[in-house]
Each structure stands twice: as structure tokens, then as C-alpha cells.
Structure 1
Amino acid sequence: MTLADQEEHAGEARIGAARDLPIPPFKPRRRWIGGDLQTVRNFVTRPEINLSPWPGKRLWLPVEGGDELAAALNGAEYIGQRPLIFLVHGLTGCEDSIYLRRTTREWLQRGYPVLRINLRGSKPSRPRCRDHYHAGRSEDLRDALCRLIEMEPAVARTGIVTVGVSLGGNVLIKLLAEHGEELPIRAAATVSAPIDLMATSHRFHLPRNTLYHRWMLSNLKEEATARPAALSEEERRAIEAARTLYQFDNTFVAPRHGFADAEDYYTRCAGKRYLADVAVPLLAIHAADDPWIPGDAYSSFDWSRNTKLSALLAASGGHVGFHAADDEAPWHDRAIMAFVDLAT
């Protein structure tokens, strides 16, 4: 069942449970039309996301190898009343990324506890991490969730809703396929996940994405080399010498984590290969005009292979944008909330 078979609105596809979501098709805000403007709006406007009404709590969650992941827990008083919302950031992001803070606020306003996990080696986690995350390091999420349940046993009773954004969405899909039945995850969602890592790499290296590419590579290098990262001299030279994201992955990420090369890394970790085995209700949200991730990654997948899967594929919205004309809250957040209401 292809994307074309599922079209319900001009330029939009709603697949599985997404057909029943009580939200209108995405319509961009004035002056923010097109994938690029949708993508950069948070960076340009730098909105202030006030979470002070829900004081945060710092958690450190041990993972295999001795590292610990930093996590920000808000709304701890709601634990045991409603499922915990577990948010995973994207490449070079963290708990303070605007899109993650905005999503946190939306859930807290509804009375849900929210935990923002920082992947291994991201800025908040780096002080207690010598190693680094990658697109397929799903065991870190498993370890963090298990430790969280030990610390907050009530979470196991009310359950968890996991939301992965961009690269975090790819890692989440792999987790759901490998460990979804072992964990008390009641529903999950991804936003702009690069489920075809090879195709995403090709797209990101196009001339039109030169500015994005330079920005991302610079951030990656800074993140990977920050103290106390345990790097050999050879790895430091490889990071410094990388002039493209592909080179960074091929000469640093792949060999460090046991992959033959970048192509092997992309192939083995791509979320698309794990979708058929996802074991909990999952909503995948993506925009056809995402400047970083080609829509073909989604349109070429047979979503009917797994009844747990739903997809909401919009004509517009950019990369983790979805700044809509009808509401200040991001469209993807409203869609996920509606999906969770149906699934739980």
C-alpha cells in the first residue's frame, strides 16, 4: 500500500489510525511558506519557551559502558497519574533545543510528566560520557528507560509515550522493533525521522543544502571532540580532516562503532528496515518538502506490512517545522497528542 494509494487530501496522506485524527490538514503560517522557511523558523525567531511553572529535575541514567545520560524531568508530580512522555532529540540537539522545549510545554499544559533525554555525548550528557551516540544506538534508550523505571516505579504502571525527533526518531524506531514488547511503551511517534540514512546523506550533500551542511558538520565536530570524549589521535585527525558529513561518518562514526564504512552504517541502522517489526502503536510524521530527508523514504514503504504503524505525511512542513496557520502549537505536536488519545 503506497503513499499514493492513501491520499485523502491534496498532497497529504493519512495511513492507519492517522485517518481518524481530529486535526485539519497542515497549512503553513503566513510568511513561513515552504520547506526551508518552515525548517529555519525556530532558529530565526528564537521563541522563549517558559517551563518555569514546572520546575525541572536533573536525572543521570547509566548506560552500558559506564557512561551516564543526562535527562530533564518536568512535571514529576504527574507521574503515576498519566503516561510519561519520553522525548528524544535530533542530531546535535539536546534538551534545550527549541522544538523539544516547545513539545515539553504542550504536554505539561495537559498534565503529563515529561522527560527529555540527552543522547550519549550530547552537550548536557558529555560531562559523564566518554563515548558518543549514533543513528542506531538504540540500546542506550533501552538502558535509560530501564533505569528510569527503577527510579520511578509508578512509570511502569501508567506507561510511557516515546517521541523521537529527526535522528532521535530513527533511533526510536530501532528500539521499538528490538525492545518494544519488553518495555511499558504504550504509544510512540516520530517527526521528520531519517528512516533511509543513505538517501538522507545524498540529499544533505546537494548544493542547495550547503549552508545546512556546513552548520551541521561544524556542530558535529564540536560535539564529538568536547571533553571528556575518549578519542585516539587517529580519531581526532579523522574528525578534523572531515570535509563532509559522509566523511565524518565514514572515517569516524563507522569505524568507532564497528561498521565497515559509512554505507554499512547507513544500511544497518536505517529505521526503514525496522518498521515492519515495530511492536507498539507508532505514528510517523513527515513533510514532502523536508529539505533534508526525501519523501521517497516514506512513499516507497508498504505501511500495511505492520498494523501497528500509522503515518501522517503532509505536503509541507519542512524539517521539524510544521508551524501552522491555525494554532501557535506546532501541528505535529497536536497530531501526536490526538494519536496518543486514540492509542491509549
Structure 2
Amino acid sequence: MTGDLQTLRNFLLRPRIDLSPWPAERLWLPVSGGDQLAARLHARDRLGERPLVVLIHGLSGCEDSIYIRASARFWLSLGHPVLRLNLRGSQPSRPRCRGHYHGGRSEDPQSALDALVSRERSAARQGLILVGYSLGGNVLIKLLAEAGRRLPVRAAASVSAPIDLEATSERFHAPRNRLYLRWLLTLLKREAVAPPAELSAAERRAIAEARTVREFDDRFIAPRFGFADAGDYYRRCSGLRFLPEVEVPFAALHADDDPWIPDDAYAEAARIANANLRIHVTDGGGHVGFHGQGDPRPWHDRAIEAFVRAAG
């Protein structure tokens, strides 16, 4: 139960994360097909003075997810500018997105960051620190393998990333997770059909009729993005297969009591011969939890900051 309590802590307590000391401005960053990703940029005046920290949310999350706001406050309090980036089709991006994201659509944050660095040239002077949470962490790993050196990335990290999507799907659909499954599927469906999403009648029917997340991936995500089925999508987009190609300092943080993501893929990741990788599996922490007593800052924020400092 400890892992579940860590996972549910923010949902149950709904802590208020005050970011008002660091006013943010709305940015719209272009991606393919005419869509734009919404983002919140805090402390623009610090661009060029300290590395810009970019935070990428997980499945059905957004810039206002509590873990994103908590991390934003952590990094802002250390003097960094922060960008809270929303994926394509998430609630803040949806007004200017007809399309949708998935666990391997790394070209979207890549395009958005390209546009940001081009627009805010001072951001490149001190470089970027990229942090991805849950599914956003998987997207980030693929991005780093494809474009990590082309972008001015100083260091990066993932928190509770499902680096083996097939194994994560199996674990998530276990009977013990049925309440999680029902909750997440409801959010996924609502997000996918929100206007102005561009969907065919068949896609709307597939979304409505999906009874599991795997069915949602098999009947909507896979055909929409050219995968043979959910299994093909999971195989081709799992972060584990991209870790050998990461060419920047990268830390992957995971808890052994995560109720959704099994440990096996992280044990395999730890055996990869890539000096840029640091794989850290803790004895507890749940899924994007890592809450402790005596410090309101989640352990993962403190661990990533220490990793970034060590990486130089």
C-alpha cells in the first residue's frame, strides 16, 4: 500500500502550489500540421543567466498537474527560468491542436524546443535541463536519442517513465489496478475528443467503445499513427530501446513499489553500456511520488538537481 499512498498523495491532499512569485507568460510553440503546443514560461529575465528547466508532463496530465507545479516551484526557487510544456492535445494545448500526442511522438517537443531556442536565443547560452514525468519521460528519452546533441541540452532526467510500454500495459491492467484503469481511461477519452480534435466517425467510435487503455491504444492510437497494433506501438516507442543512443547526461529515476511500472526494464537499462546514463531505482516512492517527511520538496527534484550539478 505504501506505493499506492505515494502515488495518490497529491490527488488526495490537493496541495496548493503557489507560483505567483514568478509570473508566467503564455507561449504557443509550433509543431507539424499547423498545431501549436501551449507552454508557460517563468522568469524570462533569467534566460541566459541560468539553464532553462523544461518540464514535460505525463499521460492525461498538463502544465497544472501538481507534480509539474511542485517541480516548477523547486527550480524557480533555485534561480532557474522554467518552461512548463504541454503535449499536443493536452487540455491547455487543445484549443490550437487538432491532433494528439502518444508515447513516442518525440518530434513535437523537439519542434517546440527548436522554435523556443530560435525565438529566445539567450536560452541557448546556458542550455536546457529537460525533465519528463511518466509517459513524458518516455517521450523525452526518444527525443534525446534523436536530437539530444542538436539541442543545447546540458542534462536531462525522467521520473517514473514507462520505458517498457508492453510490460507497463500488462501491469496497469492487473486486477489490483482496476480503479486506476477506470480513472485514467475516463481522462484519456475526454482529452482525445475535446474540441477542436479532428477525428473520423470511426475514431470517435473506437474511443467511446474502448474498455481498457490497451484497447484505446490498439483501436485509436495505433491506426492513427501508422502502427500495426498496440503491441507494435509499444515495441517501437519504448524508451528502453533508445537509451543506448542518448548522448547527454541522463538520469532515470524509478521506485520499486511503483504500482504501474515493473522494475525489470530498469534492471535491463542498468546493464546498458552508455556512460551518459544513471539509473536509480529506490526502495519506495510510488509513481511520480517520492514524498518524504520533513521536506515538502519531492525527493526526485532534489536528486535531479544534484545530478545536474555533478554533470556540470
TM-score (norm 1): 0.90
Give 3-state SS (helix, strand or coil) of 1:325's partner.
Answer: coil
Q: Equivalent of 2:192, from 224, 249, 260?
A: 224
- Following superposition, which runs of at least 4 residues in structure 1 exceed 2 angstroms of deviation? 300-304
Q: Which residue of 2 aligns with 1:50?
A: 18
Q: Tell me what 1:301 maps to.
A: 269
Per-residue deviation, residues 157-205 of structure 1 (Å, max 9, x unmatched): 1100000000000000000001111110000000000000000000000
1:202 equivalent to 2:202? Answer no
Paired with 1:328 and 1:47, the residues of 2 have a C-alpha distance of 10
Counterpart of 2:66 in structure 1 is 98
Offset from partner CA, 1:20-53 (integer Å, 9 cap, x none): xxxxxxxxxxxxx710000000000000000000
Residue 224 of structure 2 aligns with which residue? 256
Q: Distance in 1 between matches of 2:208 and 2:266?
A: 34
Count of residue correspondences: 312
1:291 aligns with 2:256: no
- Between the two proteins, what is the percent identity of the paired residues? 62
**Do residues 243 (structure 1) and 211 (structure 2) align?**
yes
CA–CA separation in structure 2 for the residues paired with 1:63 and 1:123: 16
By relative contact order (CA 8 Å, sep 6+), the higher-ranking structure is: 1
The match for 1:215 is 183
- Does residue 138 of structure 1 match 2:95? no
Q: Cα offset for 1:326?
A: 3.9
Does the 8 A contact of 1:286 with 1:312 survive in 2?
Answer: yes
C-alpha RMSD over aligned residues:
0.8
- 1:310 pairs with 2:307: no
- CA drift of 1:325 comes to 2.1
Q: Tell me which of 104, 112, 122 is aligned to 1:154.
A: 122
Map 1:8-157 onto structure 2 (within 5 A): 34-157=2-125
Query: Structure 1, residues 40-89: CA drift from partner, whole Å, max 9, x if none?
Result: 00000000000000001000000011100000011112111000001000
In structure 1, the residue matched to 2:296 is 328
Structure 2: 5+ residue stretches without partners: none
The farther-off stretch of 319-328 and 243-252 is 319-328
Amino acid at match of 1:176: L
TM-superposed CA distance for 1:302, in Å, is 4.1
Aligned to 1:16: none
Q: CA deviation at 1:110?
A: 0.5
Q: Distance in 1 between the 2:272 and 2:109 partners?
A: 27
Residues in 2 aligned to 1:284 and 1:43: alpha-carbon distance in whole angstroms: 24
The residue type paired with residue 92 of structure 1 is S
Cα offset, 1:301, TM superposition: 2.7
Task: Confirm or deny: 8 A CA contact 2:270 2:279 kept in the other structure.
Answer: no
Letter in 2 for 1:72: R
Offset of 1:103 from its aligned partner?
0.2
